[in-house]
Copies of this chain bind each other. A is one copy, B any other.
């Protein structure tokens, strides 16, 4: 993994429809070696998948709610079931086990407050939860699937330029 791979990843994180030939040109390679690098990174799992991103407003899911969940030390059994139940909801797009005050944090997307309430009722109907608190996002100022590539380990340390 060198600086060319990193350049390729940067571009594919922005737009994966880019033709290999065009990508190669931007990176300063010809299509074959560029294609091979992409293949390798897919085999190695560096590139996990390629997906289409939708406009939340256009599909009626413009409201994001962060749901903080506190549990006073439940059993392992409860934890397992809790995860299974939560993961199934398509409205839950992110789900973390946290350190500190909050034990679990969910990001939930819905059309509006009413839909959130409906979701909430469905959730607590499926599993008993001690303490839940919801915080609504008023505005999504940034959302990206692009990960920083600055921390990638590079064998050939030709780091620095672009």
Do A53 and B56 contact each other (CB < 8 Å), given the known contacts A97-B138, A151-B111?
Answer: no
* Interchain CB contact under 8 A, A148 and B61: yes
Give CA–CA (A5, B116) in the complex, Å. Answer: 25
| A125 interface contact, C-beta 8 A | no
* Interchain CB contact under 8 A, B45 and A99: no
Give CA–CA (A68, B101) in the complex, Å. Answer: 13
* Interchain CB contact under 8 A, A100 and B135: yes
* Interchain CB contact under 8 A, B93 and A146: yes
Q: Give the size category of A's interface with B.
A: 35 or more
* Interchain CB contact under 8 A, A142 and B44: no
Residues in B with CB closer than 8 Å to A160 are none
Give CA–CA (A52, B67) in the complex, Å. Answer: 28
* Interchain CB contact under 8 A, A97 and B59: no
* Interchain CB contact under 8 A, A152 and B9: no
Known contacts A48-B53, A98-B135; 5 additional CB pairs below 8 A are: A46-B59, A60-B152, A86-B141, A93-B144, A95-B140
* CB-defined A-B contacts under 8 Å, sample of 14: A12-B52, A13-B51, A17-B50, A46-B59, A48-B54, A49-B52, A49-B53, A50-B51, A99-B135, A105-B137, A109-B147, A109-B148, A111-B151, A115-B151
